Structure 1
């Protein structure tokens, strides 16, 4: 079985579900495009001899029963949804990589000793509805009906209506996941590290923790021409000082700490009025919990100090506080060995993930690991998202080697 041609054929087939004229995909949870994709995947797996099953919310599993230890399952996969005007690799590559790797193993070695399962998670991105990780949170019985029962998308379509229109519904019974012995997720890096360092494979040892804030500063709106500089309570000036000081401090501390001010909403946001109010976001990430907590203290101190200095009031809302997630050491070692076999010692890198993934949910309950392939120019969540096909094939070959060791070796 030729891995490259098999992957390219599947990628072309599934990119058509939500495919855009200018490239890329929009495939949102419980949309027609999403529904067509998951049912086509189910049909594809069944034609190749996989036993398939949807759970209540739309997570799809494809299974090859093990001959000697069928109750022990090795699983691989990712999410099937995309962001709006996203690429064809984020999520989809992890699903198709698992399909191709398991198809190749079955063709070459026959039935495994331990069961193999592909998992296509219903949703990870949170792009249609204001809720992320719906697939993996339901997989581990974490999702709460109350969290989504009253939400709707930007068109006013209720979450529960879209779900039921697609043929799915709320989970009524807890899923059993204790039979899964290992989960491996393959993903594009979504950054420039591997490309810049000319590495073909990233072996992921952890996923960064994240703290996200919404900060509101209130000063005084006033006339831009008649209010002297020394008498202003300019909320945007206060914001700019906070952003500059914290950015400089993050650069001083250095990698892997990152801070981002992604959204800024000044009021009244007009050319001839001193802005009296601004609301902005802060996204801060680090792989080390202590370092992340320490920088969070600096964030609070900086906001309070600058606000007092500029004569504005402040409100700080820490609305996300996710701890770093470490991957399973044994599985990380397996991926390292496989990477050395497939690409050689000089072409892989041990690294952390700066983005969130389904694996951070999985790792809390079962042994989990990830591997990355490079992203051209680090572009993702964009129709220009791309990876050289040679690197995609290497990623599939590394996954195949890991699955062989875990499922076919005694």
Structure 2
């Protein structure tokens, strides 16, 4: 089985990656771009040629279907998103869609038609790289996306979302789509985008949860003044305040320990010049944890600490919490089933959480969902250097195929 999947991946991954290949390296395949449309159309053609019934939904999610012989109205769905970040790698997202098709194709050729219907899905969008909206593909599957949310948004070149959609042959629905009720399970295969599996020499990750995220924009207001004539004791220096906040917060995060992570990702001091005390600094905070109560408690402490530091230093502070996403657990039954499968196959696996967001987090509150991770070399992702060994990719597709066999080909 592994040799079959090594060969299949070697034949299809370069083909799929050629559409949207970036001249500077890597891939750029943004929602409703010509490269995106070509990829979806060519992928549809390949799935059709292999005996799948194929269709696009209203927003461009692509499905390849094998109808079940006993339970045709019970759908086991697998896949991922087909879009990329700008100048990204060739695995994030698209490999999950490709793997679903390869696994189902092998199962059909080996065992015939499934008992339950299976569908491979290449979702239209997840990344939010072209337009300021994320999970457009998966949200539409469950009627969570409102046309009003995207009607007036544009990309960096001023191209309107609806215009781009129309140019690809799709029309913005007048109302949220009717949620699908036929999906009985969703399985997403994805590279880890981190270094845990590789560092521990493990081939497969069984994901038990996707972290919750809280994101902030913090604005510190002090006083800009001459760098030479303002004594240190009279300064209201916002970079000094930021540095204290950053160092003390990261020390607290280190003391808290895994799985909490804390990132200060963007810092903009103003006026940002060599000879002026910075009177204003704007920065971001990204905090993640698998437990919502722990996430809220930790960030609550951070907010209190920041206010205390600023009060001590006579600095004004504005705290804008603009993202507050709860952690999403995977389905316990599917996680147990996948774990048992790994044990039976004697796979070198790890039970772990996902520190990044995925389409699975949209599915999991609505249908039984699980995720399978494959190692990422050096933990690199969203980068042309993103890579996973062919052996690990094949092991991932094999694990996916065995899981789909249990869900759709067995009673």
Q: TM-score scaled to structure 2, two decimals?
A: 0.98
Match in the other structure for 2:41 = 39
Match in the other structure for 2:22 = 20
Q: Structure 1 CA distance, aligned partners of 2:164 and 2:23?
A: 25
How many residue pairs end up in the alignment? 408
Written as runs of structure 1 = structure 2, the 5 A alignment for 1:102-113 is 102-113=104-115
Match in the other structure for 2:379 = 378
Q: Structure 2 CA distance, aligned partners of 1:369 and 1:26?
A: 28
Residues 201-238 of structure 1, C-alpha deviations (whole Å, 9 max, x = no match): 00000000000001100000011111111000011111
Residues 154-188 of structure 1, C-alpha deviations (whole Å, 9 max, x = no match): 11111111111111122346334211110000000
Q: Structure 1 CA distance, aligned partners of 2:129 and 2:211?
A: 21
Match in the other structure for 2:237 = 234
- Superposed displacement of residue 54, structure 1: 0.7
- Superposed displacement of residue 337, structure 1: 2.2
- Superposed displacement of residue 22, structure 1: 4.6
| 5+ long unaligned stretches in structure 2 | none
Kept in 2: contact 1:138–1:171 (CA 8 A): no
1:305 is aligned, of 279, 287, 308, to 308
Residues 341-386 of structure 1, C-alpha deviations (whole Å, 9 max, x = no match): 44x25x1000000000000000011000001000000000000000
Kept in 2: contact 1:70–1:114 (CA 8 A): yes
Kept in 2: contact 1:243–1:261 (CA 8 A): yes
Residues 38-77 of structure 1, C-alpha deviations (whole Å, 9 max, x = no match): 0111111110111111111101111000011111111100
Match in the other structure for 2:266 = 263
Match in the other structure for 1:365 = 366
Q: Say if 1:176 and 1:301 are closer, same or farther in 2 by CA, change over 3 A.
A: closer
Kept in 1: contact 2:375–2:388 (CA 8 A): yes
RMSD over aligned Cα atoms: 1.1
Aligned-partner SS, 1:63? strand
- Superposed displacement of residue 249, structure 1: 0.1
Q: Structure 2 CA distance, aligned partners of 1:341 and 1:81?
A: 35
2:72 is aligned, of 54, 70, 73, to 70
Written as runs of structure 1 = structure 2, the 5 A alignment for 1:6-17 is 6-17=8-19
Q: Structure 2 CA distance, aligned partners of 1:309 and 1:400?
A: 59
Aligned-partner SS, 1:29? coil
Q: Structure 2 CA distance, aligned partners of 1:368 and 1:361?
A: 10
Q: Structure 2 CA distance, aligned partners of 1:107 and 1:171?
A: 37
Match in the other structure for 1:94 = 96
Match in the other structure for 2:329 = 326
2:279 is aligned, of 276, 280, 295, to 276
Kept in 1: contact 2:147–2:174 (CA 8 A): no
Match in the other structure for 2:118 = 116
Match in the other structure for 1:351 = 352
Residues 109-150 of structure 1, C-alpha deviations (whole Å, 9 max, x = no match): 010111110111100000011111111111111111222111
Q: Structure 2 CA distance, aligned partners of 1:18 and 1:48?
A: 23
Q: Aligned pair 1:225/2:191, yes or no?
A: no
Kept in 2: contact 1:262–1:282 (CA 8 A): yes
Aligned-partner SS, 2:281? strand
Q: Aligned pair 1:293/2:293, yes or no?
A: no
Match in the other structure for 2:190 = 187
Residues 3-23 of structure 1, C-alpha deviations (whole Å, 9 max, x = no match): 111112111111011112453
Aligned-partner SS, 2:39? helix
Match in the other structure for 2:215 = 212
Q: Say if 1:21 and 1:341 are closer, same or farther in 2 by CA, change over 3 A.
A: farther
Q: TM-score scaled to structure 1, two decimals?
A: 0.98
Written as runs of structure 1 = structure 2, the 5 A alignment for 1:104-183 is 104-172=106-174, 174-183=177-186
Aligned-partner SS, 2:402? helix
Q: Which moved more, 1:175-184 or 1:222-231?
A: 175-184
